[in-house]
Structure formats: C-alpha cells, structure tokens
A and B are shown apart, each in its own frame.
Chain A
Amino acid sequence: MSLLESLLMRQETLTPVYVRISHWINAIAVILMVMSGLKIYNASPVFNFLIPRSITLGGWLGGALLWHFAVMWLLVFNGILYLFANIYSGRMKKKFFPIRATELVNDFIDSLKGKLTHDDLSKYNSIQKLAYLAAIADLILIIASGLVIWKSVQFPILRELLTGFDHARVIHFLAMCFIVFFLFIHLIMVALVPKTLLIMLRGR
C-alpha cells in the first residue's frame, strides 16, 4: 500500500488524517479571509454599514488585500486537495450521500425536540450532511465570485454567469455571510457534542 493510499484508506480512524489536516487549514484560511475581506469591504461598502475595525485584518486596505490574496491560495489548494481525496477515496459518497427528504424531515423534527442523537459518530445525520455540503458549495461560490471580482476581464464566462462585476461583489459578500452563519451554528453543535472535536483532532 502506498503512503497516499494508506492516508486515504486507513479505516481504524473515524476521520482520516487528510480530512483533519485540511479541515483545520480550511478553518484558519476561512477566518483570515473573512477578517481581511471585511477590511476590504470597509474601503467601499456595498451595503449601508461599516464593519468594526477590531474584527478586521490588515490594518489598511493595502495590507488587507495582501492578506486576502495570499490566504486565497491556501483556501483554494487545500479545498481542491480535500475534494479530490474525498471523492477519489469514495468517502464523499459514503459520508454525505444519499440525503433523503424523509430523513431530513424526521431529523429536523427530532432536533427540534432535542432528540437528535449523535450515538454513532461514524455517520453524519441528514442535517449534518446537508449543512456540510452547503458549506462546501458555498465556499465554491465564494471562490467563483471572488475570481470575477479579482479578474473580471479575464473570466468573461464566469462574470456573465454571475451577471456582472457589481453583482459578483454582492454575491461574494452574501456567500461570506452564509459561511459565517454556518460557522456560528457549527461551533454551537461542536460545543453540544464535544466528543466530535476530539475526533476531528485525533481521528478517534
């Protein structure tokens, strides 16, 4: 077994090491992107409010842009590696699919009653599946709209898909809001089921 295969296939752990590494790299990258992005937002707010300086990164527009366009590489390449390994190893299909509507409804009702159990931590419930897939899809949208803002002349098809430069800015901002919302819920869930944090850290 090659090193790559052993990294991808090892079954004695609940969460393979590449998922854990890429998850934490992603978490750091997302937080740095959000903080530097909010500083960039302040230079020319699309909406009628400013972000408090204390939660922004970069000090001034030029510094924030340096951070944003540096950390973006981490976000993108880490994301590509995660997706590639996850799909190639079959883990994506196994962990996230299928999501059945009836399961979603049942899990949702259970969660409202506080009865949604996390007994089997090797499986995601349908709400988790949906939430994680939504986060992944949202990050892809963030990257696509970011590309249109960064190089709108050089990505004409993407630009037209997102209906132009100005709309891409709004989409980029709203998609950022969604990931922050996801993170907020995600952190609450981790606090409620702390065992998952251990699994995400050491695999068991």
Chain B
Amino acid sequence: MSEKKRIFSPHEKEIIKDIHKELEIPSRRMFGKRLLSLGAISMLTGCSLDNDESIESALMVISRFNDKVQGILFDPNRLAPTYPASMITKPFPFNAYYDESEIRPNPENFKLKLSGLILDKKDWSLLELMALPQTSQITRHICVEGWSAIGKWGGVRFSDFLKRIGADTSAQFIGFRCHDDYYTSIDMATALHPQTLLSLTYADEVLPAKYGYPIKIRIPTKLGYKNPKYVKEIFVTNVNPGGYWEDQGYNWFGGS
C-alpha cells in the first residue's frame, strides 16, 4: 500500500494528489504519456521522446527482467532485520491509494475467502484464524517512495497457513483481493518465507481499521505496496494476477 504522503512536505501532498487525479482519468492510466518529463530530455536530445511507445515497452521489458533478477537475489532463508520495541515508529504512518478519511475496512462478520489451487477452500472467520498458532515480529516497512517505518505485526505464519489449507506450493503466484478494491500478488518463494505473516494484530492488538482490519499480509522482504491490507480473498494461481500499482508501472516483484 503505497503512494501517499505523510509528514514530509506540503508540496509533495499536492504532487501526489496531482498524480491521483491523473490516474483517475482512464486514458491516462497507461503511464506512457507521463513517462518522460519533456522539457529536459528534449533539450538534451534535440528531439521529443514524448509518447514514445518503444521506450515505454523497452522499460517494461527491463522491469520484467528485474523481476527475474530479484527472484534470483531473493534468499528464502535470509531474514529481514528485526528491531527492539523501543525503535517502533510512532505513530506508524497510514498509507493507501486514498486518504485516511476514506478507509473501508472489512465488516465485523467478515470471512476470508480462498480460491484457486487450494485443496480446502472453506471460508475462515477471524476467530478461527486467531485460534491458529500465532507469532509476531518487529520489522521495517519500506515504501517504494523511499521512507521507512518500524512496526510490530503478529499473526499466523503464512507458510503454515498455506500448508494447512492444502495450497499447491508448487504453483507460481499468490493473489490477494482486498475490501478496498486494492489487489496485489506475490511469488511463491516469498509466500513461503518464514517472516511472511497473515497478520491479525498490530502492536499486539487486533489490527486497527487504518492498518488493515482484519487481515494484512505482512512481508518484510517486500516493499509496502506488496503488503496488502483489508484482505478478503487469497488465491493460488499460475497466471500472474498483477496488482493495483504494478499494473500502472511499479515493478511486480517489489522486493527489498
């Protein structure tokens, strides 16, 4: 969940709003038009690279290549650093593709849906999830924008959950659909990483609405936009489900 500014600077808020406005216009969703800041580059080259679809597709090809490189760099046994409680960032920033006043948490009687390459697709209530063995960790959340913040998340180790529901762990992707219409997906190796959590708590309390009630997938080896909140459905697939930001040009692997 990313692309939203907190305390840094008032101007930046404006720019982000700008971008959101632009993104709301469907024809602008393909970022090609905004790929280049023309003034500078056309001065440099003496020609305009505006609307150059070959540049855009070349950049996307390299981004797919970077997915592969990150898959190779990713070490399933290497742990993200953990921190003492004294280093937790307070308040932990809210971040989503919309403003904090527009939060849409899942309803109280919520049930988690499962679909795709999973043997036991029964729904899960929050109480059932809380009855599973729990673990917690204090890790650094790194946003694609560059800021980072340390927080404490607790919940079910995601690899345990995948085994319990009979997920096909030889499949390539796990997809997430969220109550706020956000969506994203991750590679299986990251899903099975020991620090990847189906998290139900923040700072030892039931996930507050702004941090993703009732389920956030917490992945300290991935950037913030690959850590979905308000998760309502999890599916296992061999077709890359993409993601809200990924489909607009953010790198799909999004590792850290």
Contacts and interface: CB of A to CB of B under 8 A. Distances in A.
B146 A65 contact: no
B12 A42 contact: yes
Nearest to A73: B62
A92 B249 CA distance: 41
A40 B146 contact: yes
Interface stretch (B70-78, B157-165, B171-179, B226-234): B70-78
A69 B255 CA distance: 13
7 contacts: A31-B44, A40-B146, A54-B39, A56-B40, A65-B249, A153-B79, A166-B148
B31 A63 contact: yes
A69 B40 contact: no
A63 B40 CA distance: 15
Given A57-B41, A58-B36, A63-B31, A165 B144 contact: no
B133 to A, nearest CB: 25
A35 B45 CA distance: 14
Report the interface size class on chain B.
35 or more
Interface in A25-53: 31, 35, 39-46, 48, 50, 53
B66 A54 contact: no
B80 to A, nearest CB: 5
A63 B36 contact: yes
Nearest to A147: B73
Contacts of B3: 61
Interface in A58-87: 58-63, 65-67, 69-70, 73
The prevalent SS among residues of A at the interface is: helix
A59 B51 CA distance: 12
A50 B148 CA distance: 19
A169 B143 CA distance: 13
A129 B12 CA distance: 41
B73 A151 contact: yes
A54 B11 CA distance: 15
Contact of B37 (A31, A53, A150, A151): A53
Contacts of A35: 37, 40-41
A192 interface: no
B59 A70 contact: yes
Contact of A66 (B19, B59, B73, B148): B59
B40 A43 contact: no
Contacts of B8: 44-45
Interface string B225-256: 00000000000000000000100111100011
Nearest to A172: B146
B136 interface: no
A62 B79 CA distance: 27
Contact of B75 (A41, A42, A65, A154): A154
B34 A50 contact: no
Interface string A159-175: 00000011001000000
Contacts of B216: none
A61 B146 CA distance: 11
B93 to A, nearest CB: 11
Contacts of A67: 35, 59
Given A42-B15, A57-B37, A169 B255 contact: no
B186 to A, nearest CB: 14
Contacts of A70: 58-59, 62-63
A45 B35 contact: no
B236 to A, nearest CB: 24
A55 interface: yes
B140 A59 contact: no
A149 interface: yes
A59 B59 contact: no
Contacts of A156: 78, 81
Contacts of B44: 31
Interface in A63-118: 63, 65-67, 69-70, 73
Contacts of A196: none
Contacts of B39: 54
A70 B63 CA distance: 7
